[in-house]
Amino acid sequence: MGIADDIARIIEQERGLVFSAFDEHTAFAIGLAIRERASREALGLVADVRLWDRPLFYCAMPGTTADNPNWVRRKANTVQRLHKSTYRLVLEAGGEERLFPPHKGLSPDDYVMAGGSFPIAVRGVGVVGAATVSGLHERDDHDVVVAAICGVLGVDAAALALPPRRH
């Protein structure tokens, strides 16, 4: 699969991973799934699940740094503004440039083009929040979030997964 295929798959993820309702219990289930995987696989990551008005779940695993919460904040801000997965934005940008164009008005102090934040969408409502991971390679950050959301929604994660990262 190439970049265009990855973008198409992420769009499929965004369209398919939509909740009928979303509340604190659902956010906790997503966050707990991420934390349990991180613990099982010894993944050094920070996980954050939030609605736009407040955080609902947060954890930091061993191996993370004081930088990870700032990455999480900026990734979630990006999803809030653009309603797209941040890894999709990275792939759509198609290059090494990681700053948004000046005409977008998205300061790098508050927005980042780095994978790992996925929109929380509710059917009939739209994007209401984000689930975000920071600490791994951005493709892996993305995959961890998507797998957790799939698990909570009862969707086959393997059917929607991106192919493994090429090292």
101 φ/ψ angles, rounded to the nearest 5 degrees = -60, 145
Residue 10 · residue 88 · CB < 8 Å: yes
pLDDT at residue 71 tops 70: yes
pLDDT in tens, 76-121: 999 999 999 999 999 999 877 788 888 989 999 999 999 999 999 9
What is the CATH number for 94? 3.30.450.150
Please report whether residue 63 resides in a domain: yes
pLDDT at residue 1 tops 90: no
Please report whether residue 166 resides in a domain: no
pLDDT in tens, 24-45: 999 999 999 999 999 999 999 9
Total of domains in the chain: 1
Mean pLDDT of the chain: 95
pLDDT attached to residue 167: 64
Rounded to an integer, what distance in angstroms lies between the CA atom of residue 128 and that of residue 83?
A: 9
pLDDT cut 90: percent of the chain above it: 90
pLDDT attached to residue 99: 84
Please report whether residue 88 resides in a domain: yes
Expressed as residue numbers, the domain containing 102 is: 3-160
Please report whether residue 114 resides in a domain: yes
